[in-house]
Amino acid sequence: MAEHSKFPGWHGTTIIAVKKDGKVAVVGDGQVSLGQTVIKGSARKVRRISPGGFEVVCGFAGSTADAFTLLERLEAKLEAAPGQLARASVELAKDWRMDKYLRNLEAMLIVTDGADLFVITGAGDVLEPEYNIAAIGSGGNFALAAARAMTDSKKSAEDVAKAALTIAAEICVYTNGNMTVEVIEKND
């Protein structure tokens, strides 16, 4: 058995993005766990980046260092293709899939510019979610189900995403209710 497989690993997080009424809300919890221990309860896993003045909101699940590496690469891709989130996302996914170093990164990203919403994975996927809701992390499926149940309500994108994360935090032991919230409208 490899030595690293004995390590309990960093687990959990929940990131949910809801696109509704011309806005996208990305909400993430703050819990970082190592095995069965909560290491930190106030991590910030949702961030706003502005390469070349083009605003993008990103949420990440997985290893923090790996996620920051991917965020830096995404910023570079956006600087090379200003205002083209889809193109930058596909280029990042291609690099992630093909590069020997990047291939070992363990993270997932949700990215949005207020118009487009994507999930980017290390398998080379750039997924545009159905129903305008994306969710990743250990509590992602709980948050996704909760958000889908609320999308027809009169709640805003932010209110749906926050309520969905609250529900996920009540179910998933690797998710807490300490939220980071970013709302973005389509870039002009």
Q: CA angle 129-83-62, nearest 5°?
A: 45
| Mean pLDDT confidence for 156-178 | 97
Does residue 185 sit within a domain? Answer: no
From the list 33, 26, 43, 15, the residue with the least C-alpha distance to 143 is 15
Each residue of 54-76: pLDDT tens digit? 899 999 988 787 888 888 989 99
Does residue 93 sit within a domain? Answer: yes
Does residue 84 sit within a domain? Answer: yes
Does residue 178 sit within a domain? Answer: no
Each residue of 90-148: pLDDT tens digit? 999 888 877 766 666 778 899 999 999 999 987 778 999 999 999 999 999 999 999 99
Angstrom distance (rounded) from CA 102 to CA 161: 30
Segments forming the whole domain that contains residue 104: 3-173
pLDDT of residue 3 exceeding 50:
no
**61: burial class by Cβ within 10 Å (0-12, 13-18, 19+)?**
buried
CATH number at residue 153: 3.60.20.10
Angstrom distance (rounded) from CA 186 to CA 188: 6
Does residue 104 sit within a domain? Answer: yes
For residue 188, what pLDDT band results from cuts at 50, 70 and 90? low
CB 183 within 8 A of CB 158: yes
Known catalytic membership, residue 180: no
User: Residue 118's beta-bridge partner residues?
Assistant: 111
Count of structural domains within the chain: 1
Does residue 70 sit within a domain? Answer: yes
Q: How far is CA 106 from the centre of its chain?
A: 13
pLDDT of residue 7 exceeding 60:
no
Does residue 184 sit within a domain? Answer: no
pTM for this predicted structure: 0.91
For residue 2, what pLDDT band results from cuts at 50, 70 and 90? very low
| Mean pLDDT confidence for 13-30 | 96
Max intra-chain CA distance, the chain: 53
Does residue 181 sit within a domain? Answer: no
Catalytic residue among 13, 14, 112, 175: 13
Distances (CA, A) of 147 to 26, 76, 96, 131, 155: 12, 32, 29, 10, 10
| Mean pLDDT confidence for 22-36 | 92
User: Residue 10's beta-bridge partner residues?
Assistant: 34
